[in-house]
Structure 1
Amino acid sequence: MAKEMEGYSLPISSVDLCFDGNVFVQAHFSADLFLQEQRGRATLETMRDDLGSYLKVLRSATLDLIDHDYADFVGLSSSLVGLDKAVGKIRDPLGQLREEVMAIMSSLDEALRGMKAQLEERRALRAKRRQLEARLNAIGCLRLLDKRLLLPCLDGLPVAERSAPAFNQLTFCMEKCPPDDQLNLHASCAQGRLMQLLEGMLLDAVIALQGEKGGVWTSGVALRILRLYASLGEASIAEELVGRHVVAPALDSIVKDASSSGLRLSDVYHSALAVLSGKLGRLLTLTSCENRDSLTVEGFDFLANSFWPQFVHMLQLHLPNVSAPGNPNVFHQRFCETLSFLEELERLCGSSEAIQTLRSKPSYRQFLNSWNLQVYTQIRFQELAACVECAFPEQPYPSHGFDSSSAGRLLGLNPSSPIHTGFWLAPTSSCWQSISRCWHDDVLIRRVGHKFWKMSLQIVARYGQWSKDILEHQLGSVKVREEGAKEDMLLLPLCVHRDVCQLSWHLEHHLLPTATATLLSATSDQHHSTIGSLLARSLDVALEAFRSDVEPLAVRCIVQIISRWSLPHLSQCRDIPRLYRRTNRAHPTGPRPYVSSTLSPPLAFRSLVLTSFTAPEPRGEVERGGEGAWVDAPLLRLIMAQIFSEITLQYHSGVLEVLTSVLKMEQSLRRLKRIRATDGGGEAPSAAADDDEKIRAQLALDVHHFCEQVESAGVPRDEVKQLPQLVELVDNAMRGRVGSLQ
């Protein structure tokens, strides 16, 4: 019936409705939403009529459904007749069966509890039996040990070899026995006697190994004793015994003598290695992991557990200030000696596992931490930074700037014969010497090589900042100097620029390879490419300050000095109209002297630089400008172009001003001529027009001569700002194109 209901569909009305009948059987049907949606489709009266019609259809469908299922409802009621009697007949047998099952389950539970109790009792009896057997076995082992260890004997080694298995058996049995103070005390006494016997034999064997010169008998005895210690699980006791009775007295004597007599630390290390090889050499061979034959025993590390703890203890006891942290020279020497000593110890370890064991010792890390490398690098940085700062001139700088005398006095200049390792400035030489000293064998510690690289970059940055400051001061002095810039003020920017280039070359070709090789030697192969690229990138960032700040500033300072030296002569350009107007001078045939005077400073500078070139030189020297060159050829061309640009800008302004005034004069003369012609007067003399032509011709001769001199200096006119426009200006003026003056 349920399936029939699921398959039953709503009836369809014969009349067209304004709504869908299926909306009423939806799970989220809402009357308000239904009315809100239907009001836009039909009126309320129409909706009322359609709902009434659909209600009649539903009622009719309901009656049809009841009629369809009526026979099933009647059959269901008739099939339930007599069901209560059938249920009553089977109720009593089922209840009786349930009681019987519960009784059986109760009996089984009681039997199971009894069986568990008996099993637990049997388990306890077995445990007590095992404890009793272990106790009896332990007592038997103790009696056997007492019998063997208390009897006097000439050779204790066989006794120890027979007693060791019994002691191991005793240890095993004691773990199974219940706590017993008397039995534990007896076992401790037996262990003490066995350890005492083994200690005496071990010390005798070690002493015999020190004096043995041949044969394997003593080595065999020592090997048997060590195997006994290993079988008993007491290797640490053997290592501690050898360290306390064999190593400690020898090291104590050595370190005491060094403390009292002032022996060098290298002598202490040498003597300690002699003790290690002399007293423990054969013992290390017998326990070496490299020898995998029958004449070795594993489980011992006398170097890490016997020698090393005693050595560190003696140093801390008798030489607490062995690192000398306040004296960097002594610290460096002793630290390098310590590293060599540790490398020798690791070589004697024989295997990578033994080396890792030694390095993992707390005393090893404590010993290395006692060498405070951070304090050492700070002291070195203070020393090197102090040397650099002392080389810089004291402030305040001269208000009039650095001329040749003040620069030579304050900066230690010697351009004719450099005495500062190829540099012309003492601060540059001091910076390079400090950087080089960072990587000297007497200063550098490879473990902190990255700190020395940082130190070098800091010195470079400090020098760059000083160069920038002093050039800015020099440039400001040029701008405010009343008497004009002097040629001797060129000395400082030239030397700064040259030294910056020299220093950059040294940093790239000397410092970077040295630092890269040093840092790569202290790292694994897989990091080599990364470290090399990081070093090159960091140095390039440091040198970028030179290329972007210092070098352009030095060039600008040179340009300002020379251009300010030349610009006063350009004022004579404005005097040309006065020379030709109403003076009856002849037509100009050559340039005026002011052009040569204006170009004299830059040309003299060029000549000075060209004479400073050294030829021939090795290729490497030419690439960095040579030891005696002021600047290289490309830079000279750049400087000359900028100087000529500064001069040309002023020259263009002066020529334009003169031509403009001449043009205005011509216009005035034309107006005057027209006025006179209107009044009936005679023709005005053409002398003024001839004077204007002479002025234009003189300007054209001067400008063309200026351009020729610029090009003769190796600078094309296109590289000089406003020079093509200046030439075009005077040419247009000569052709009478007055509209092209602007």
Structure 2
Amino acid sequence: MAEEAAIVTATSDSSLLLGRAGCPVWLNPERFLISDFNADACVADLRRYVPLATLQNELSNYLATLKTKLVEVINEDYADYVGLSGRLANVEGSVVRMRKPLLELRDKLHAVQEAVRSELNSLNQGLRKRKEVATQRAQLELILEVSHVAAKVDKLLEELAASDKTTSTATAAPTSGVAAAMDINGSGSGPSDAELLAQCRLLERVAAEVSRLAFLANKGKDLAFVRSLEPRITAHRAALRGRLSTALALALTPAPAADGNSASPSPGPRSTTAALHALHAAADLGEAATAEAVVRSVVVAPLVERQVGEHKMQGHTSVPVGGAGSGSTSGNALSALLSGILVAIRAQLGPLLDASLAPGSALRSIDLLSNAVLDEVQGALAAAMPGVFSPGVPPAFHANYLATLAWLRQLEGMCATRGSVERLRASAAYASLMRRWNTSVYFSLLYQEIAGELEDALSSDKLEPAAGTSGSGAGLFATLAPPQLAPTAALLRCLRRAVSSDVVLPLLTDRFLRLALQLAQRYATWVSAATTARREAAAAAAAGAVAGGGTAPVAGAVTPPTAQGAGSGGAGSPGSGGGAGPSGSAAWAPTLPADELFAVVSDTLVAREALLGPVTAAFLELLPPTSTPSHPAANDTDAALNGDGGAVAESAVDAATTAVRGALAEAAAAVQASGHGLAAVVTEEVVERCAAAVRQLKGITATYRVTSKAPPTRASHYVFGVLMPLRQLLDAEPVKRLNPALRQELVTLPVAESVCARYAALAEELLVSVRKTESSLKRLKKAKGGPGGEEEPAAGLSDSDKITLQLHLDVEELVVQLRQLMMPPDTAPEALLPSLRRLKEVVAPAPRDAAISGAAGGGGGLL
């Protein structure tokens, strides 16, 4: 719109300067007035219509015209311009009269500006002085407050020292809290509970004042007076730290039992209230590490040492003997030990832990759960029971690992906020405990066991049947058909171990999934190797037969079940060289009967169903119900703490589920494809045997040309043997175990399709040859002046028509036999076999031939 408006304006302006009559059609002066006019673009556009010389001339003429118009426009108002000075009289006087009031106004404004500036300067100076005074006053108040707080701290410390002198403690100011705790249970007489409570309250008050003093000192660290107090503050903190450790140790030390037996301490600390005051004092003073160390040394360490000692006295060893039951026993023992430790700790430190873990607690800076409890427990286990963390016995390692995770979940259950859980998981003690579990070595040992078992089963040069007590169909795979072969039974056993909850650790779920996929792929490779060996052996036999001028034998012909067992197929030894035949894991493939090879095909279907069904379901159960946390010790606390992350967690779980299903489905498809490939090799062998019978149709030509027989009325004898190899294969026991629909898909339809295709090719070749020969004979007779190849009245048909009719009857009999083999019975084979429809088209007789054949009473079966 803006461009159109500019063009309109330019048009109106140009019409005033120059009309379009003076310019050529291709030159539009209006485009010169457009705001974004580009001379280069204009010249490049116009040179497409006229030469540059013509364009230059026209532009020069237009320029001259514009100059002329400009002169005319100037001359139109020249008289007014010349008379302008005459009409402007007394201009200078008017200027003087207008300037005088303006100058007066400027002088007044300058005076006002100077007055305002002077007032502003005085105000700023006053504000600066006031600010300096305020700063000095604040510093003076800070110094007074620091001095007052320091004097108050000195007074409180004097009161604390005076209270120490009045007590009957053995030492006035001990520096070791552990020594004081041991002394209170010894011969020395410590302070009473009331004195201890008063002392801890006083310590909390002093700690608050020292913390306040440290805050004020940090605030006034640039003042000389405050800097002079730093050594004094440091001394106060050191003195208070020692007294605090002593008081906290005395408060946490269990009081003697009521019966006077020191061997049975009371279930709780001496004074929980005094201990809480001491912890608050430590938090105010910033001595969280000191308080955690005292709690750990006074309460947790003796408790854990006593529990571990009792555990060892009960006969539990740190290194269990291998065995299926040893892992469960070791896990139960460790679980009982950890549970006992946690129960004892809650009895001793329950109120203190609850106070430190409460939301918004003043003790949130003290992490007793991580730095006192967890750190001591993991250190004690590593020192007293190192075998707990050893992966040398995988069942025991698995049970101990799960027991530890369950104990960690109990610790996380004591946390009241998500921040507490995250702090526990991020602690150094948590990380140290989890580093002690060498899960990589655990997985490597199991990988060698599981993969080694399958590899041993697949590396045999003989194909052994599955043992009745193999156990592969129990438990996880109870709903599947039992495997027929030992390698498949080994695969199912390995898969069951790879997905068992007694083997898989939460942290290693992805590795065990990869192991299951590798097992399935190794099995598929084994079947594919057998397929390749079978095909290469057949090709070598065919090549040798052709070179020797004989008939190529068909490898692995179908034999009766008693001729050769499934375990007697090994024809070569592993590692045999020379290229004479396959060796190793595929040595059994070339010599095994074709029907028994379908036991392998049947087992691939069992393996596929196992991967898609029980294995997939087992891995989905192993996935966490929510998003995976930072460590596998995740618990139900996450569900309550996820908040807005619930949707993200669900999407992550859905993505993981989809990935697991997809990976296992690909592995199952690979196993199924390998089985179908082996079935295809077997069907190719059956097709070759069927094709050998089909080639007998070449004898039909000699039959009718030599004997001049009557038109045929029934099928040839060779037709009844065409599908005999297929019938024998379908009657074999391994093939009968297949699902009827699958049996038709893998065996019946491929063989029938290939046989019909070869039948159609041979029949078409035969009929083309016969018709060419008959046409040549007719032309030869006609050239000799004969009757022109007329047939005898009794026959009514030529030899080619009889041969065509005979082939038609043979194909009809073949269709009858195929209909008997189809599932469901009496299914029209033409609908499923395109080559059969082609075969019927090739051998279809003319209507006249069919009528003559029906009228003829003689003839019989051929061949």
TM bucket by the smaller chain? 0.7 to 0.9
What CA distance in whole angstroms lies between the structure 2 residues aligned with 1:720 and 1:255? 77
Partner of 1:603: 727
Partner amino acid for 1:77? E
CA separation of 1:730 and 1:70: change in aligned 2, threshold 3 A: same
Separation of aligned partners in 1, 2:338 and 2:789: 126
Alignment of 1:46-125 (within 5 A): 51-52=67-68, 55-67=71-83, 69-71=84-86, 73-80=88-95, 116=128, 120=132, 123-124=135-136
2:435 to 336, 355, 369: 369
Note if 1:562 corresponds to 2:713.
no
CA distance in 2 between counterparts of 1:359 and 1:15 reads 89
Partner AA of 1:64 in structure 2: D
- Check 1:11–1:665 CA distance in 2 against 1; reply closer, same or farther (3 A cut): closer
Cα distance, 1:378 vs structure 2: 3.8
Deviation at 1:437, TM superposition (A): 0.9
CA contact (8 A) 1:157 1:201 kept: no
What secondary structure is seen at the aligned counterpart in 2 of 1:411?
coil
Instruction: Name the counterpart of 1:284.
Output: 350
Partner-residue secondary structure (3-state), 2:502: coil
Partner residue of 1:500 out of 604, 609, 629: 604
Q: Deviations over 1:247-271 (max 9, x none)?
A: 2234346668989983466545533
3-state SS of the aligned residue for 2:166?
A: coil
Kindly report which structure 2 residues correspond to 1:246-395, keeping only aligned pairs within 5 A, or say none: 246-252=299-305, 262-263=317-318, 266=331, 267=333, 270-288=336-354, 301-318=367-384, 322-349=388-415, 352-393=418-459
Conserved 8 A contact 2:248-2:275: no
Q: Deviations along 1:51-89, whole A, 9 cap, x unmatched?
A: 55752552242222342x3355333234346899x6999
Residue 723 of structure 1 is matched in structure 2 by 836
What is residue 510 of structure 2 aligned with on the other side? 450
Q: Deviation at 1:696?
A: 4.8
User: How far off is 1:220 after superposition?
Assistant: 5.0
Paired residue for 1:573, among 697, 703, 728? 697
Contact 1:131 1:178 in 2 (8 A): no
SS of the residue corresponding to residue 732 of structure 2 reads helix
Closer/same/farther in 2, CA of residues 526 and 439 from structure 1, 3 Å limit: same
On the 8 A contact 1:284/1:303 being kept in 2, the answer is: no
Q: 2:620 & 2:18 partners in 1: Cα distance? A: 99
**Distance (Å, rounded) in 2 between the aligned partners of 1:679 and 1:732:** 25
Please say if residues 323 and 331 of structure 1, whose CA atoms lie closer than 8 Å, have aligned partners that are also in contact.
Answer: yes
Contact 2:208 2:281 in 1 (8 A): no
Pick which of 180-189 and 715-724 moved more: 180-189
Shift of residue 171, structure 1, vs aligned partner: 4.4
**Equivalent residue of 2:484, what SS?**
coil
Cα 1:17–1:63, aligned 2, differ >3 Å: closer, same or farther?
farther
Question: Alpha-carbon deviation of 1:643?
Answer: 1.4
Q: Secondary structure, in 3 states, of the residue corresponding to 1:441?
A: coil
What is the rounded CA distance, in whole Å, between the counterparts of 2:338 and 2:787 in structure 1? 126
Question: Could you say which residue in structure 2 is the equivalent of 1:138?
Answer: 150
Cα separation, 2, equivalents of 1:223 and 1:683 = 127
Among all aligned residue pairs of Structure 1 and Structure 2, give the percentage whose two residues are the same amino acid: 20
RMSD between aligned alpha carbons? 5.1
The question of 1:187 aligning with 2:236 is answered yes
Check the 8 A contact 1:677/1:683 in 2, yes or no.
no
Give the aligned partner of residue 411 of structure 1.
463
Aligned residue-pair number: 691
8 Å contact from structure 1 (residues 259, 319) kept in 2: no
Q: How far 1:676 moved relative to its partner?
A: 5.3
Partner of 2:296: 243
1:583 deviates by 3.9
Judge conservation of contact 1:711–1:717 (CA < 8 Å) in 2: yes
Could you list the per-position Cα deviations for residues 510-554 of structure 1 after superposition, in whole angstroms to 9, with x for gaps in the alignment? 11222212214465772444433333233333333345x334423
After the TM superposition, which of the residue ranges 333-342 and 359-368 deviates more from structure 2?
Answer: 333-342
The answer for the alignment partner of 1:469 in structure 2 is 529
1:368 is paired with a residue whose SS is helix
Larger radius of gyration: 1
Give the Cα separation in 2 of the matches to 1:197 and 1:682. 135
Contact 2:676–2:746 (CA under 8 A) maintained in structure 1: no
After superposition, give the CA deviation of every residue in 1:185-226 in whole Å (9 maximum; x if it has no partner): 652465246425523432335777984479x99555555555
2:325 matched residue in structure 1: none
2:254 & 2:662 partners in 1: Cα distance?
62
Q: What amino acid does structure 2 have at the position aligned with 1:557?
A: V
Partner of 2:184: none
- How far apart, in 1, do the equivalents of 2:413 and 2:20 lie? 106
Aligned to 2:615: 511
Q: Compared with structure 1, are the counterparts of its residues 133 and 60 closer, same or farther at alpha carbon in structure 2 (3 Å cutoff)?
A: closer
Partner of 2:201: 161
Going from structure 1 to structure 2, the CA distance change for 1:346 and 1:655 (only over 3 Å counts) comes to same
The range that moved more, 459-468 or 266-275, is 266-275
Aligned partner of 1:639 among 747, 752, 756: 747
Q: Counterparts of 2:14 and 2:760 in 1: how far apart (Å)?
A: 103
Q: Which moved more, 1:710-719 or 1:75-84?
A: 75-84
TM-score (norm 1): 0.76
**Residue by residue, what CA displacement relative to the aligned partner does 1:445-495 show, whole Å, maximum 9, x if unpaired?**
123223222221222222223222321322333344332242253135412
Shift in CA distance, 58/252, structure 1 to aligned 2, threshold 3 Å: same
**Aligned residues of 2:267 and 2:347 also touching (Cα < 8 A):** no
Superposition TM-score, scaled by structure 2 size: 0.67
Distance in 2 of aligned mates of 1:207 and 1:292: 30
Conservation of the 8 A alpha-carbon contact between 1:286 and 1:297: no
Is residue 2:820 matched to residue 1:712? yes
> What amino acid is the match of 2:839?
L
Q: CA deviation at 1:562?
A: 1.0
Q: Specify the SS of the correspondent of 1:410.
A: coil
Summarize the Cα distance change of 1:15–1:530 in structure 2 as closer, same or farther, 3 Å threshold.
closer
Question: CA separation in 2, counterparts of 1:27 and 1:313?
Answer: 85
The runs of 5 or more residues in structure 2 that have no matched partner are 1-12, 44-51, 168-190, 218-225, 259-263, 320-329, 474-481, 542-551, 560-592, 628-638, 640-648, 851-863
Higher mean alpha-carbon deviation, 104-113 vs 702-711, is at: 104-113
Q: CA 1:559 to 1:419, structure 2 compared with 1: closer, same or farther past 3 Å?
A: farther
CA displacement, residues 102-130 of structure 1 (integer Å, 9 cap, x when unaligned) = 79978996897698568636743663464
Q: Provide the residue aligned with 2:546 in structure 1.
A: none
The structure-2 alpha-carbon separation of the partners of 1:83 and 1:704, relative to structure 1 and needing over 3 Å to count, comes to closer
Moved more, 600-609 or 559-568: 600-609
AA paired with 1:70? S
Which stretch has the larger CA shift, 115-124 or 71-80?
115-124
* SS of 1:544 mapped into structure 2: helix
Equivalent pair of 2:760/2:835 in contact (CA under 8 Å): yes
Indicate the residue corresponding to 1:526 in structure 2: 650
Deviation of 1:701 after TM superposition, in Å, equals: 3.5
In 2, Cα distance between equivalents of 1:22 and 1:673: 98
Residue 135 of structure 1 aligns with an amino acid whose one-letter code is: S
Taking the aligned partners of 2:743 and 2:704, their CA distance within structure 1 comes to 41
Q: 1:36 to 1:95 in 2, by over 3 A?
A: farther
**3-state SS in 2 of match to 1:438:** helix
Alpha-carbon spacing, 1:601–1:11, altered in 2? closer, same or farther (3 Å): closer
Instruction: Give the letter aligned to residue 358 of structure 1.
Output: L
d(CA) in 1 for partners of 2:14, 2:747: 101
Shift of 1:241: 0.6
Alignment of 1:196-207 (within 5 A): 198-204=247-253
